[in-house]
Copies of this chain bind each other. A is one copy, B any other.
């Protein structure tokens, strides 16, 4: 999708500065040690609280609750409480975070290219 809000003849420096502000804002939305991992898990499917806790080795209840609350107030995650015994709380992504899937896919591609490049370098080293 081309950007028709900006004159495409504008000097490159303007676009870079605008991009810088944008990317800072975007990065801020998922800054936090566990947020990307939480969002990635939720982009696969809905999770209950303890499901997330088990799925993320190393996270504590304390931090998981905190990060989930921040994601919720940023509109990145929807929290649904079922008033049952025992209690059930489900976490889902919102439309905003569903659109993060291409980002995760791009990260996958990068990660695999990086591993392949390293394997290639290792092979070169071994051959040399």
A-to-B contact residues, CB < 8 Å:
1, 16, 19-20, 22-27, 29, 31, 33, 36-37, 40-41, 44, 55, 95-96, 99-100, 102-114, 116-117
Contact = CB atoms under 8 A, between A and B. Distances in A.
A79 B42 CA distance: 38
B108 A106 contact: no
Given A22-B112, A23-B108, A29-B111, 6 more contacts: A20-B40, A23-B40, A23-B107, A95-B117, A96-B113, A102-B109
A22 B108 CA distance: 7
A26 B111 contact: yes
Given A33-B31, A102-B106, A111 B40 contact: no
B23 A104 contact: yes
A107 B117 contact: no
Nearest to A105: B106
Given A27-B36, A33-B31, A36-B27, A19 B99 contact: no
Contacts of A114: 29, 96, 99
A26 B99 contact: no
A75 to B, nearest CB: 8
B26 A107 contact: yes
Contacts of A24: 37
